[in-house]
Structure 1
Amino acid sequence: MTATDQGRAPHWIRPALAALAVLLIVVGVGGAIALGAGDGLAGLLGSDLFQTVAEEPAEDDAALTATVTVDDVQGALAELPGDLAISPDATGITCVVDGDGIWVEYPEATDASAVIDLAARRAAGLAQWAAQADPAISQVTWIAEDAGQTALFALALDPAAVVSDAADASAADILAAATGYRIAGDAYASLDDPAFEQEAGAAPSLPDGSEVPIELAQTATDGADAAQGGASGSTGGGAAGAAQGGPTGTASGTTSGTTSGTTSGTTADLITVSITVDGSAAGAGASSATVSLAAGSTVYDALAKTGISISASGSAYGMYVSAIGGLAERQHGPMSGWIFSVNGVEPSVACSAYTLSAGDSIVWTYVNVEE
C-alpha cells in the first residue's frame, strides 16, 4: 500500500474528529462563560435541559437504543425455521439497525404471492426474536423486492404485538397485526382472491423517516408482468441507503436500494454510473460494475444495487458502511476500513447523502491495511 493510502482514514474518522472538535470548542466557551457569569451557568446546568448530560438519567426517562448489531440480526435470520432462513451471505440482503428499529431488505426470486407470504412470515419471525433479544427495539420493517429490485411489499411490525408462531401464521394474520404495510399495485393484482387489503395502517418508513417507495398503482399490461410485481423501468429503493455519512448503512447486509431511498421511475428518469469495489490491499481483489439507478439516487444506493453484501448502520451523519463483501473495518488493523470517492474526489459527506449524476465513477477502497 502506498504512503498516500496509509495516510487516509476510513470515512468514519472524519465526522468523529469534527464532532470532537465542536465539543472541545463548546467546552472551552462554556469554561470562559463560567469564569465571568457567576451563578448564571450553574442555573443552566441545573435545568432540565442538561439533566441527561450532567446526571445519570432515570431508567424510565432514558431514551432506549437497540444494542443488537447487524451481525445479531443476520444470525437471527439464519436461524429462522425451514424455508424462512436466510444466509448472511445471501445476495441482495440488507440489514440496518438504527436507534430502536431494524430494517431488512431482500429480493425474492419468485412470484408475488409467495413473496408476500415469505416476507410476512420472515418479518414476524424476526420480530419475535427482537422482542426477546432487546426490548428497546420498537419496530421491525421488512422490504421485499422482485429479482429486478423493484419494491413489491413493505411491512412494519411492533415486536411486542407480533403474532405468535410466526413460522406457521398466515400472511393475513401477520398483516392484521402490523402497524402498517403497503403492497405494489401489480403484485396485489396478481394475487388470487387475497384475504387482506392492498394497504393498511401507517406507511412503512426508511431509517431517514421517508416512506418506503412502493408503486401502488397497477402498471403491468399482462399477467406475466403482474406476477413479477412491477412495470418495466421501475426500480426499487433500499432501507439501508437512507443514511452513510459518518460513522448502513446497512446494519450488516446487502441492499437493492429501497432501504437506501430510491424511488420508482421510467427509463427516462434513470441514470447510469460505474462503481468499483477495491479490496486488493487486503487480498480481496477488485471488481467493477455499471448500474442504472433512479435520478436522485446516492452513492449508497449504487453500492446496494450491485447486489454485493453490505454491513452498514445509521448514524447522525448518514449511513456508515463497515463491511463490503465480507471484508470488514478493523479486520486488518485498528484503522483499516472502507472509504469512497466519486470521480477521484473523496466527499466530506456520507455515502447516503451524496447524490449522483449520470456518468459518475464511484470507487470504494479498503485502506490502512496492516500486515
Structure 2
Amino acid sequence: MTSPLERAGLRPRVDKALAAFLADRRVRLLTIDGVLADVADALEEFVLRGGKRLRPAFAYWGYRGAGGVDSDQVVTAVSALELVQASALIHDDLMDRSDTRRGEPSVHRRFAARHAEAGWGGDASGFGDNAAVLLGDLALVWSDELLYSSGVDLADLARARPVFDAMRTEVTVGQYLDVLTQATGDTSLERAGKVARYKSAKYTVERPLLLGAALAGAPESVSAAYSGYGLPLGEAFQLRDDVLGVFGDPAQTGKPAGDDLREGKRTYLVAAAHAALGPAERDELESRLGDPELDDAGVERLRAIIRDCGALARTEERISSLTGQALAALTRTEELDTEARAVLLELADAATRRAV
C-alpha cells in the first residue's frame, strides 16, 4: 500500500521545493561571505536528510479536504513547515544537549567539531552552541520567506498568516514550558499534557491542518472539525514520541537509547509513573532521572520501573483514546473531500504508530 505521505507525490515534491529554496539561499549567503558555506551545508543537510514531512502532509491534505486545488505553489507554501520544524529541532537538541539527530551529529556538535578541527581560538563547545542558536533562528526566518515566496495568491496567504504566526508562537512557548517543567520538577499529568500540547501537538497536526484550511478559504465548520481531529491526534503523536524516547530502538529513532531519561524529560509517561509508584521506587526514579551519566544498566532499570508500575500501559491507553477521539471527529464531518478524508485517516494511524 502507498504511504499516505506519498499520495499526490507529496514527499518528493516537498523535498524538491525545499532543495530549490535552500539552493537559492546558499547563493545569497555566499554573496555575503564564502565562510557561510558551512551554514548553507549544515542547513541543507539537516533539512533534506530524512524527515517524514508529516506537517506538510497534514497541511496539504487539510487544504485539499477543504476543496483546495492541487498546485506546486501550495506544496511550496506548506513546505515552509519543515523549516519551522528544523528550527525547533536544532534548538531542542541544543537545550537537551543531544549528541545526535537522525543518526548524525546534532548541529551544535557539528559546529563544535568544526571549531576543534580548524584549531580556532576559544571554546569549541561554546562556538557550537552559538552556531546552533543562530542556525535555528535562520531556519525560522527562512520559513517565513518560503511561505511568502511560494507563489500562492496574496489573499490566500493573508488568511493563512495568523495561523502560521500562532503556530510559531505556540511551539516556542511550549518549548519554554518544557524547559521550565524540567527545572521545577513538576511531575503532574496536567503539566505533562500541556507541554505535549503546546510543544508538539498543535504544531504537528492541528495548526498545519488549519493552515491548509485557511489557504483554501474553508468555512469555520471545517476548521472546527480539523481542530477536533488535530488536537487529540497531535497529543497522541507526542505521547508516541515520549514512549520512543524511553523504549525506542536507536536504529529507528536516530538517538541513543533512553535519551529522554538522561535529559530528565517530564513527559506524560514519567508523570504516569510518578503517580503510580510507591515512595521507594518514586525516589529511585527521581534520583536517576536527568542524570547525563546514566548507563545502559541504569536505563534498563528505569524502563523496568516505568513498565512494571503500569505507566507504559497507561500511556498506550491514552494514545489509543486520543486517536479514537480524533478519528471520531473526522468521520463526523461530511464537508470534506472524500480522498482527503481517507488520507487523513491513514495519517492518523501512521502518526501514532510511526509507520511513516
TM-score by length of 2: 0.24
Larger radius of gyration: 1
Write 1 or 2 for the structure with the bigger share of helix: 2
**Higher fraction of strand:** 1
Give the structure, 1 or 2, with the largest relative contact order (CA under 8 Å, sep 6 or more). 2
